[in-house]
Amino acid sequence: TDVTGIAQLPEGVEMVMPGDNVSLEVELIAPIAMEKEVRFAIREGGRTVGAGVVTEVIE
């Protein structure tokens, strides 16, 4: 399921490079069912630019 969201990088982090690990908070524009430990991909312009695992669901 594709859902648009806004990713907020941690304070002091301007860019994430390949191989970097970062924790970030993403606010989705539409509700979607999800749970901890679900894998997801971050896509931009039709390309996968990142991947991750849900560590916490904030309602």
pLDDT one-digit tens code per residue, 10-35: 999 999 999 999 999 999 999 999 99
Q: What domains can you pick out in the chain, each with its CATH number?
A: 5-53 (2.40.30.10)
What are the tokens at 25? 């908070």
Instruction: State the chain's mean pLDDT as an integer.
Output: 93
1 has a pLDDT exceeding 90? no
Q: Inform me whether the pLDDT recorded for 59 exceeds 90.
A: no
3-state secondary structure of 14: coil
The pTM of this model reads 0.80
Total residues belonging to the chain: 59
Residue 57 has pLDDT above 90, yes or no: yes
Count Cα neighbours of 18 within 13 Å in the Cβ-side half-sphere.
2
CA gap 23, 52 in Å, rounded: 9
Residue 29, class by beta-carbon neighbours within 10 Å (0-12 exposed, 13-18 middle, 19+ buried)? exposed
